[in-house]
Amino acid sequence: MTGPVRLTLAPTPEPVPRVHADRTTYQKWINEHCSSHAVRRGRLDDYDRFVERWPSLPDWFNAPLRQRLVDRTGSSAPRRGTPRPR
């Protein structure tokens, strides 16, 4: 018969800073995953607006979910297939 099993806690992981991907890295990812030029342009425009609105990702993560789900104009995000205001 074996003795009692001793359990140890896993070490606490180092927190990873939450920061935006730089625009070049994001653009490279978009170029690899989006085939349409219009879609790529739209994603970069969305990225630019998001970074402008939320320069600090910790602020975005700490904001109420309702606030994070509201689009740039202050109204709910449009349904699929409807044009977004620019």
Residue 83 has pLDDT above 70, yes or no: no
Residue 34 has pLDDT above 90, yes or no: yes
Q: Would you kindly state where each structural domain of the chain is located, as residue ranges?
A: 23-69
DSSP secondary structure, the chain, as one string: ---PPPP-PPPPPPPPP--PPPHHHHHHHHHHH---HHHHHHHHHHHHHHHHH-S-HHHHHHS-HHHHHB-TTSSBPPPTTSPPP-
Give pLDDT tens digits for 37-80.
Answer: 999 999 999 999 999 999 999 999 999 999 988 855 444 444 44
Name the pTM for this structure.
0.64
